[in-house]
Structure 1
Amino acid sequence: MKRNKQIDIKLALALAGTFNFLCCCARACLLPFLTLYFRQLGLSPAMTGIVMGTKHLITLVWTPVASLLSKHYNKRRAVITGSLVCSAAVALVLLLIPPTDVGARIGNCNKSELSPTQSSGGNLIESSVGPTTTVHPKTNETLGVTTPPDTKSALSRTSVHRLSPDNITTSVNDSLGEPSIGAPIVNQTTNSVAAPVRNKRSTEEATEKTHFDFLGSLKTMDPLHQLFFLILITVSLFESASAPLEWTADDGLYEYLDYADASDRYSSTGVWGLLGAAFGVGGAGLLVSQLSCFIADQTPRSAVHFFCYAAVAVLALPVASYLPLYLNKKRDRANGLLKAMQLVRNSPRALLCAATTLLVGVATSAVDNFLLWQMQDRGSTELHMGMSLALALLSQAAYPLLAGCVSKLLSPGRVLAIGAASLGLQCFYYSFLWGAWAALPAQVLSCFSSGALWWAVKVQCDDVATPGAERSVRRIYTALSVHLGSALGSFVGGLVVQRFGLVWLFIGVAVGLMLWCVCLPVLQWKAPRQRRINYSRLLAADASEASDSESEQERDWLDKAMEDDRGNNNHARRANH
């Protein structure tokens, strides 16, 4: 009784729900818009797919390892705190990576909000056919300099980061051979002048790349590949820092509730994650849409997503310090995952469910990575994007309210097929977007795609798992869908968009899901149905059998004793006679 008085279950659930809300809110402020930021920096679709696929693979491998190490050394709270701090710091470091072109940072801003120099792509020097003039950005005084054709192409690529207003005249004079003041400048196009200009330009470009000396192999690459590898390294560090957070906090909370004999209330904290994600993505989209294109000196408004992530992550630190955690050394997570894999492998219906979740993960990655690209091409702003994604999450969170009615009409296998088909219809709809708000109606289907699908997966986990292994089996399905499937989908999706375009990506995903949904009921019908073992009845049967055997043994002993007693009495009577 003393143990129960020391544990406040309601307070523990409130802290766990608040922490889950804040963590999901922080990730939703940044991750849905991350690929859109990569597009603004200048990454191609194939490069974006490689970055996101690598991110999912790191999570797939590093999450169980980091969670196992934190349990072995009893450092769960330190891992949670370090994950929040380090991920916030790395997210801000990502803002320091320069784009391949300043104009790319403008993104889908309204051009009327930009100044004349910004609307031209961020170049301070404008060139036209024939003689060109250079204008000082502050005094608007014409310098009266005529540039040769070779120099114009070099100057037109000079960005704000590379050229300051004070050295515009010096740079132009240097490229023309430093003429004396007041001397007439003649347009020279001979090879004797063009060669020094090209040499000077190559020298300046080599000087500009000196800040990449810490990555010596990047110096010989073009700017686009330099940008790609810097983003890949930074995103890998970010995911390595944030990946252990979910499993570590989840294991500590479950073992805490299990220690208090309240593990049945563990699932009540899951809905707070969906609500936090909806609040984060909707709030971040609304906030960014109200800002101008640049919130500071050459800082794009899309940087607010990174600041929001860092702020909410820091806000979760006080809650993490009081988060209920418990260490149960008797539980072996490694053996639990291996046992869960064996349970899934030995059940044909569980394997069909695993294949479905893997395909759903591939399709979901196409939506997560490139839906915002499609919406941006149709005129959507961050407001439309945030509201659409928030509606999808709220619709998914509302499915438990309908689960009771749906389970009476459809079996879990049919619900699984309907969920995959609904996702296919969503992808097919995304390929025909026509306006800024066009994606909003399709998001309501998330109730029957993501919500129904994961409900069916949960039922399948309960059917195939032995007592105490439900969470491990569920993590197998999550790893297949959210991480492995999303990684494969990111790699393939980026190549498809690069080669065929966004429209064909969504059409291909929709066709693939529809074909699988046609085959899935037939395969489920052919698969042998394994009867679920009711362990409570089995234990009751064992107890009744044991009691019956004990009573039978007692009867046998008593009958034997009575027979012996009767035999002895008969023998005594015969002796007396």
Structure 2
Amino acid sequence: AMSQQWDVGRALALSGLFRLLQGAGRACAAPFLTLYLRHLGLAAPLVGAVAGAKHLAAALWAPLCSRCPRGRSKRRVLVAGSLLGSAGASLLLPLIPPAGGAAGQRDCNGSRLLGDRPAAATAPGLGTSTSGVLSISDSKINGYSDGPSGWATSGEAVNWETGEPEMPAPYRPPLPGLEKETSSLGSAVTDLADNAEKSLYATESNNVSLFKTTPPAVGAAYVSGNLSEYWKGTQDVSFEAVQNIFQDKEHQIFLMVLGAVVLWELLATSLEWTVDESLYEYLDFVDATDRYGKLWVWSYLGASVGACGIAILVDQLNCFFSSTISRLAVHFYGYALLITLSLFVSVFLPIHVLKRTDRVNRTAKALVLLWSDGRAILYAITVFLSGAAGSAVQNFLFWQMEDRGSRELYMGLSVAVGLLAEILLYFFKGKLLRTLSSSKIVAVSLSLLAVQLLCYSFLWTVWSVLLIQILSAFSSGALWWVVNATVDDIATPGMERSLHAVLQSLCYGGGASVGSFAGGFVVKYFGLAVLYRACCVCLVLWLFLLLIVQSKLPRQKKINYSRLLAADSSDMSDSDEETERDWLVKAMKDESFN
């Protein structure tokens, strides 16, 4: 018994260290990914598409991971391969060249930018997006208006007198109230844009002339010949349009980034699932699964240290490593380094594979259980909406902070503050669950999440983000306490983890992917402030609807364990039944969810 207890402690210590390194590695790169994509020159809709595909890939791939190899040696090979593969996939991103020819101009202050950037970056072209901390005229020259209220597309021909696009494009015009640009560089770029516009119109007129060929009225042969030429011209124009899309530098970068990010996420998901499942099966074998639920604290601690540490390091570096690699690439180098270190720890991780004879689709069974309970359905919709709203903060908050002149240190601290606040609130979990009912906790969590989004839309200073992030303890942590407790009530034996996985996929997969896809377009056409306020309004409306519907549902009683008493009631005497009934009444009075 003593050796078995020592093995459990050793397994938990190794698992905690592994989670610490994994959390630190993920925090080095994942929160800063969308910021890096912005520096590559991708517009907000493309950045949202990459983030949405990342979340969607993880949600769809997780159920398929249950078919991973069952042998110990095969699982160790899978873990090692996933670690090395995810590290390699992350290192593909710094190799992708930026759209404007020079990367990382936004992340430097004015003095460092002028002193450190290469000569190729000193004269930005039409396709180059400049830093929001430079003068307003510099950003206006490139047709790229920084600020939380929206971004225009780089390279757009803009009439600087009126602030409106010269061509009827669906892009948002620059921010109102900007100063008129009178520099010679601005005039030269404007003339260049006019010439490009005229050339575009000339090309379009030549293409349109193919469609204006009038077939002769005499002779069906002539008509047939002209029709064949017409369809041939149409196909040529369609092929050229598709070809132009793939030849566009921004779309090429988008496709390369999308492939690298999706591959990275698939490998990371396989790794996390395999390690977690192996550890849980080992603890289940030694009857110590109650100690599994606190390992997430190590992931949060590692993420807090990793986000702050990499931010401090990046702030101390020069703006560029080369003409195409900015200092933001250090985020991915840090991730690869920490993942490589966790590879050595993974060699000693406990792996125990249970022999299962059932081939039941647990995901489908979990969905059936969720659908059978009214409160579970309401909480599933709640986590979906919270995931969609949270993706707005996760994807574009650092954009807004950068436009406010923030250093990366504040960005890393914002990540750490939110995670540490959840850890601190966890120590008061029992008291809160006994004091407040589940419906009240959900209402407070949604309300605080809506307040967070509203505050972000009126962000006044950079340091205020740290205060707003403290609310994440309740808006995220406490919400999942209630959701997990409700899931445990409706779960049949052996289905708890499957139900938790489905709900997490709904939040971090379905909700976050939908929010990312939609958020990118909202940022482009309406601005970040509108995105945050729209998410806030949606959460408030759902909160009212949730309270109304929840009040109509019948009161739920947690009596899962009473079924066991009822099954053995025939073997009990009258005195034993009275004793057990008294115990059951006392236990139900102490329950937090009635």
Same fold (TM over 0.5): yes
CA contact (8 A) 2:102 2:323 kept: no
User: 5 Å matches for 1:113-192?
Assistant: 113-115=112-114, 118=117, 122-123=121-122
The Cα shift of 1:248 comes to 1.1
The Cα shift of 1:74 comes to 6.8
Instruction: After superposition, give the CA deviation of every residue in 1:169-214 in whole Å (9 maximum; x if it has no partner).
Output: xxxxxxxxxxxxxxxxxxxxxxxxx9xxx9xxxxxxxxxxxxxxxx
Instruction: After superposition, give the CA deviation of every residue in 1:450-476 in whole Å (9 maximum; x if it has no partner).
Output: 111111111111211123321111111
1:519 maps to which of 532, 535, 545: 545
| AA partner of residue 84 (structure 1) | L
Residue 539 (str. 1) matches residue 538 (str. 2) = no
| AA partner of residue 44 (structure 1) | A
Mark the CA change 1:56 to 1:126 in structure 2 (over 3 Å): closer, same or farther. Answer: closer
C-alpha distance in 1 between matches for 2:38 and 2:113: 20
Aligned-partner SS, 1:108? coil
CA contact (8 A) 2:58 2:509 kept: yes
1:425 maps to which of 434, 444, 451: 451
CA contact (8 A) 2:83 2:268 kept: yes
2:379 maps to which of 321, 331, 353: 353
Residue in 2 that maps onto 1:393:
419
Residue in 1 that maps onto 2:99:
100
> How many positions carry a matched residue from both structures?
464
C-alpha distance in 2 between matches for 1:478 and 1:332: 24
Residue in 2 that maps onto 1:560:
none
C-alpha distance in 1 between matches for 2:285 and 2:535: 45
| AA partner of residue 449 (structure 1) | S
User: 5 Å matches for 1:346-385?
Assistant: 346-385=372-411
Unaligned runs of 5+ in 2: 127-194, 200-241, 575-594
C-alpha distance in 1 between matches for 2:5 and 2:116: 66
C-alpha distance in 1 between matches for 2:74 and 2:442: 39
CA contact (8 A) 1:254 1:266 kept: yes
Mark the CA change 1:377 to 1:9 in structure 2 (over 3 Å): closer, same or farther. Answer: same
The Cα shift of 1:237 comes to 1.6
CA contact (8 A) 2:98 2:324 kept: no
User: 5 Å matches for 1:89-488?
Assistant: 89-115=88-114, 118=117, 122-123=121-122, 221-295=247-321, 299-330=325-356, 334-488=360-514
Instruction: After superposition, give the CA deviation of every residue in 1:264-301 in whole Å (9 maximum; x if it has no partner).
Output: 11112111111111111111111111212124565311
C-alpha distance in 2 between matches for 1:349 and 1:399: 25
CA contact (8 A) 1:414 1:521 kept: no
The Cα shift of 1:507 comes to 0.9
Residue in 2 that maps onto 1:31:
30
Instruction: After superposition, give the CA deviation of every residue in 1:201-231 in whole Å (9 maximum; x if it has no partner).
Output: xxxxxxxxxxxxxxx9689521111111111
Which stretches of structure 1, 4 residues or more, deviate above 4 A after TM superposition?
Answer: 123-127, 216-220, 331-334
The Cα shift of 1:66 comes to 2.5
Mark the CA change 1:44 to 1:533 in structure 2 (over 3 Å): closer, same or farther. Answer: same
Instruction: After superposition, give the CA deviation of every residue in 1:84-127 in whole Å (9 maximum; x if it has no partner).
Output: 10111111111111001134521130121134693876157999
Mark the CA change 1:545 to 1:36 in structure 2 (over 3 Å): closer, same or farther. Answer: same
Residue 69 (str. 1) matches residue 95 (str. 2) = no
Unaligned runs of 5+ in 1: 128-193, 199-215, 550-577
Residue in 1 that maps onto 2:226:
none
Residue in 2 that maps onto 1:8:
7
| Larger Rg belongs to | 1
| AA partner of residue 99 (structure 1) | P
The Cα shift of 1:479 comes to 0.7
C-alpha distance in 2 between matches for 1:65 and 1:260: 27
Mark the CA change 1:445 to 1:332 in structure 2 (over 3 Å): closer, same or farther. Answer: farther
Deviates more, 1:280-289 or 1:295-304: 295-304
| AA partner of residue 76 (structure 1) | R
Aligned-partner SS, 1:99? coil
Aligned-partner SS, 1:107? coil
TM-score under structure 2 length normalisation: 0.73
- Root mean square deviation, CA, Å: 2.8
| AA partner of residue 35 (structure 2) | L
Residue in 2 that maps onto 1:181:
none
TM-score under structure 1 length normalisation: 0.76
Deviates more, 1:18-27 or 1:100-109: 100-109
- Percent identical: 43
C-alpha distance in 2 between matches for 1:109 and 1:121: 16
CA contact (8 A) 1:295 1:301 kept: yes
